[in-house]
Structure 1
Amino acid sequence: MSRRLRLLIAAIGIAALAWLLLATLERGLALAQRYMALPEALRWLLGAVLALLLAGGVAVGAWWLRPRKPRAPVAAPDRPSLEGRLAALRDAGADTEELRSELGELDRRRLGGRLYIAVFGEISTGKSTLIGALVPGAAVRSDARGGTTRDVAHYEGTAPDGTAWAIADVPGTAEADGDARERMAREEALRAHAVVYVCAGDLTRTQGEELRWLGDFGKPLVLAVNKADQWDDAERERITRHLRASSGGVPDAVVMLSAGGEERFTRRLADGSTEDVRRQRKPEVGGLLDALARLVAPGAASLEPARENAVLAGLHDRTAAVEQAQRAADAERIVTRYARRAIVGAMAAVAPGTDLVIQGALAAGLVRALADLYGVRVTDVEVEALLGQVRMTFRTGTSVVLAVAGNALKAFPGLGTLGGGVLHAFAYALVFDSLGKALAATLAERHQLDQAAAGERLRDLLGDTRGNRLRQLAELTSDALRDR
């Protein structure tokens, strides 16, 4: 573009801006004249409204631009209460060895006094190569395939200040069918004093969620952008600013680096032939080392409380999952026990055509047993109200229950030829199994005796004609009759 053309465009732009300012000023003066021509009372009213709008806008702007307080770390239970829960699970027959070994590892690292740094991130972002740059001479596995790290490995090295540290190479996340390895990586990240989250560019939605999950535990966190040698200085600065803004202040530092590694390319020679060249790129990790030196300067002892809080918080979630599975197994045993009792009771007093819930005592016992299991207090009134709703559901759906029972028994000729007694016994098994499972699911989800939710699940289960479930109930009926 010539100099004259640039000057012409600049002049046109200045003229347009001046015209816009004059038009705005003229419009403002016109509005002011119209405002002053209004009656005094109306002027005061409009002035008060405008002042309120202006004050509200300033308040909203101040709130939006206020400095964000750092998020408090995830709260963890105290260790004695956690150990008590593990002891209760062990007494109940649950396998808690892995959870208890986590506490042992927590103590071992605290007594060792060594700094632990976890290198975390998705597969194929260069984590293993980065560890090779941080700990020269470390035998790190790396090849062209994604997700080469299959286990947690520690490499001992020296921090910039001379302190001994151990760098953990963990499996990459976002790998197909890699849930177990991803869980392993997350657990090791919680055990570390500080975490380096590695990415290779802009953050994806999944990476952003992982970064926020790490930030929730309040330990030193560095966002490291690998393969930065593909950008110039201006692009690096722009990417760094963008990542600081998009990460919401979660990482303590954002650094650009190049982990190095092997570079492969084809070179054309002077005679027209080609050759494959393999060479090592020089790593550039000075920014990461400086950031880590600043963040772990307090030392392992000072960083230990945040690390212990993170480990105990993770253990709390894992223990809760085991408790949930244990309660589900206990609920299944309770439902099966009461269904068996209902089968025996049905054979003792069969009255075709009567209400399917004639065994009120058994139904009340089932409700109370499940409520006790899930720690929900129920009154006699609540139990009776629930059973009243259940009776109404069964009374209107008796034909459906008997039809399902009859069709299921056709698959078991030996049972199907024993007459109406067996049919009603199987119907009772279906009734109590449906009631127990509906109630257990409701108590687990809502932690209260919600009649509406339990009734809705009950109706769904009564119409459930899946072969596996009906086969199990038929086998339960057969076993109960054989024992009787």
Structure 2
Amino acid sequence: MPHSRLPLRLILLGLIAIAVVVVIWLGIGMINGLLEFRERLLDLPALVRVPLIALVAAACAGLAWLAWKLLRPTRRSARAGGKPLVADRQTIETRVADLAARNADVASLEQELIELDRRRLSGECHVAVFGEISTGKSSLIRSLASAAAPEVDVLGGTTRWVRHYRGSLPDGRELMLADMPGTGEVAGSQREQLARDEALRAHAVIYVVASDLTRAQDAELRWLADFGKPLILALNKLDQFDEAARATLLDAFADRYAGVCRAIVGISAGGSERFDRRLPDGRIEQVTRERRADVDDLLDALMAVTAGGAATLEAGRQAAVLAHVDQRSQHLARDVAEREAEATVVRYTRRAVIGAMAAVAPGSDIIIQGALGTAMVRELARIHDVPVRELDVEHLLARLGLTLRNATAIVLAIAGNALKAFPGLGTLGGGVLHAIAYGLAFDSLGRAIAQTLAAHARLDQAEAESAMRKLLTEPSRERVERVTRVVIDSLRNRNAPAAGDD
């Protein structure tokens, strides 16, 4: 067996030797060429030699610059570590105004921007107390705020859920503390969203836990950190842990969240507790007592995090709020585009069916011959803010027309099955069948283009053809029935007597 590999090794050795000889030969030729070029250059007059040297130097510099641009390491994105990009205020406001003009519900986005400015102008330092239910957030608020009367909340509709309390630090500075709904509550997704929104509005966040973090809590804490929030992780109910368990948890938090949180502290927020007490006569009574609060370490951490006041934390707070508003507005823009695209496809399908009903012998090729297909593609591209060229549209429709011709038999069979759901149509002739098939084809065309524009933000012809082929061969019952009803309505309108007829 070893001898059988010897020829292959010899071949490889020979190829390597040839490659080395070629490289040496090319190197010698290049050196000779450079020396010959140098000699000829020295023989030239100075008026010719100097500009030629400058031209060669400029070409070498340009080549070096191009190589550097192509080969240099890519800079780390602003989203390194998952941190959201800081959104541009003007871009967001322009998008919100555009969405409002398209009848989208942007009231919450507009209110968020108003609240962003109000807090900036107030100069108050806002701290959100965030965490799951039953971790002692409300007790902590009472320990930090000297007066437990909530301030009036300016956010319309949220006064039942988010309350603000004015507290003070040992150095005399005031804080506005936000008491929010706890996360992790059954059927409490709406209140959880209110809590997350308020956490992003704050200058800093106290994340309260009463044990080791669950996977959901860990994800939530890191989500807040991704927005650049100054975080203080507070392990509450410290008096319920023995010394060893307390040290183990705090050490684990320090190892796990050193790069996530500004500070990690253990606290006892106080509050009341109930327990059963056995009396001397054997009876048992329930007793309520107040637990002593110990939040000194938390106060020290708060003073350190907010040492520069609201002004030093305002830029980060605005960036977090704007990034979140930007995300929400983009989601809303996609929803609006999907809604408008659906309405556009339905409208053009109706027009196509009406045109097919008016034709004597409508054929599948009409989909690429008329103006309807071009107009629909243009409108869908406008909805998704994708620029398209006339030539691209024509080429796409021609390509999709081939797909349609290949699937004509399938479409006609589907249309024939649709007639079974509407038996009365079967007696009206083949024109009805063709109209239904034509409507399904146009509906598939519109949906395929809308899908690829939404997914790729460009007119991807191959993707559109694949999507249309699938839609043509696997139409849903809802699509078939909708197109058939369009045909029924067109027949009724065509056969209805004109006004004034008997």
Give the TM-score, by structure 2 length: 0.75
The one of 210, 215, 224 aligned to 2:234: 224
Give, in whole Å, the separation in 2 of the partners of 1:382 and 1:343.
Answer: 25
2 CA distance for matches of 1:303 and 1:388?
57
Q: Which shifted more, 295-304 or 454-463?
A: 454-463
Match of 1:258 in 2: 268
Deviation (angstroms), 1:195: 0.7
Partner of 1:85: 95
2:200 equivalent to 1:190: yes
Cα offset, 1:271, TM superposition:
3.2
Kindly state the Cα deviation for residue 208 of structure 1 after the two structures are TM-superposed: 1.6
Say if 1:200 and 1:225, in contact at 8 Å, map to a contact too: yes
Whether 2:361 is the aligned partner of 1:345: answer no
2:89 maps to a residue whose letter is R
Matched, 1:133 2:133: no
Deviation at 1:298, TM superposition (A): 0.7
Instruction: Report what 2:181 is aligned to.
Output: 171
Query: Could you tell me which amino acid in structure 2 is paired with residue 186 of structure 1?
Result: R
Superposition deviation, residue 456 in structure 1? 3.0
- The corresponding residue for 2:327 is 317
Change in Cα spacing, 1:156 to 1:419, as seen in structure 2 (3 Å) is farther
Alignment of 1:453-472 (within 5 A): 453-472=463-482
| 1:65 corresponding residue in structure 2 | none
Please name the residue that 1:432 is paired with. 442
Letter in 2 for 1:193: H
Paired amino acid for 1:443 = L
Q: Which moves more between the two structures, 334-343 or 173-182?
A: 173-182
The CA deviation string for residues 48-78 of structure 1, in whole angstroms up to 9 with x for no partner, is xxxxxxxxxxxxxxxxxxxxxx969533222
Contact 1:150 1:181 in 2 (8 A): no
Shift in Å at residue 443 of structure 1?
A: 1.0
Q: Which residue of 1 aligns with 2:306?
A: 296
User: C-alpha deviations, 1:111-161, integer Å up to 9, x for none?
Assistant: 211111111122222222221222244269xxxxxxxx9611112222332
Equivalent residue, structure 2, for 1:326:
336
How far did 1:464 drift?
4.2
Alignment-derived partner of residue 121 in structure 1: 131
2:449·2:464 contact (CA, 8 Å) conserved in 1? Answer: yes
Matched, 1:210 2:220: yes
% identity of equivalent residues: 53
* 1:249 maps to 2:249: no
Does the CA-based 8 Å contact 1:356-1:395 persist in structure 2? no
Among candidates 422, 430, 434, match of residue 420 of structure 1? 430
Whole-angstrom distance in 2 between the partners of 1:354 and 1:471: 20
- The SS at the match of 1:111 is helix
User: How has the CA–CA distance of structure 1 residues 443 and 354 changed in structure 2, closer, same or farther, with 3 Å as cutoff?
Assistant: closer
Counterpart Cα distance in 1 of 2:141 and 2:415: 63
Q: Which residue of 2 aligns with 1:63?
A: none
Q: Does 1:369 align with 2:379?
A: yes
Q: Is the partner of 1:410 in helix, strand or coil?
A: helix
Amino acid at match of 1:180: Q
Contact 1:255 1:288 in 2 (8 A): yes
Aligned-pair distance for 1:473?
A: 2.6
CA distance in 1, matches of 2:213, 2:123: 34
Hey, what does 1:27 align to over in structure 2?
Answer: none
One-letter amino acid of the counterpart of residue 252, structure 1: R
Once the two structures are TM-superposed, the CA of residue 311 in structure 1 deviates from its matched residue by 1.2
Q: Deviations over 1:5-32 (max 9, x none)?
A: xxxxxxxxxxxxxxxxxxxxxxxxxxxx
Q: Distance in 1 between matches of 2:232 and 2:360?
A: 71
Return 5+ residue gaps in structure 1 as ranges. 1-69, 141-148
Aligned residue number for residue 249 of structure 2: 239
SS of the residue corresponding to residue 95 of structure 1 reads coil
Are the structure 2 counterparts of residues 253 and 483 from structure 1 closer, same or farther at C-alpha, using a change threshold of 3 Å? farther
Change (3 A) 1:372 1:261: same
Q: Over residues 188-231 of structure 1, what are the superposed CA-to-partner deviations in whole Å (9 max), with x where a residue is unaligned?
A: 11111111111222222221221111112223211111222222
Give the Cα–Cα distance (whole angstroms) in 2 for the partners of residues 450 and 354 of structure 1: 22
Partner of 1:24: none
Q: What's the counterpart of residue 76 of structure 1?
A: 86
User: What is the distance in 1 between the residues matched to 2:321 and 2:453?
Assistant: 29
8 Å CA contact 1:327–1:373 kept in 2: the answer is yes
Amino acid at match of 1:244: A
CA shift digits 1:152-196 (9 cap, x unpaired): 111222233222222111222233333222221111111111111
Structure 1-normalised TM-score? 0.77
8 Å Cα contact 1:127-1:198 kept in structure 2: yes
Structure 1 residue 282, shift from structure 2 partner: 1.6
2:497 aligned residue: none
Number of aligned residues: 408
Shift of 1:326: 1.6
Query: Quick one: structure 1 residues 133 and 472, their matched pair in 2 at CA, closer, same or farther if it must change by over 3 Å?
Result: farther
Distance 1:460 1:260 in 2: 63
Letter of the 1:158 partner, please give it. S
Q: How many Å separate the matches in 2 of 1:333 and 1:378?
A: 20
Q: CA RMSD in A?
A: 2.6
Give distance in 2, aligned partners of 1:152 and 1:228: 26
Q: How much has 1:257 moved relative to structure 2?
A: 1.3
Distance 1:371 1:413 in 2: 38
Partner Cα distance (2:121, 2:177) in 1? 18
**Conserved? CA contact 2:362–2:435, under 8 Å:** no
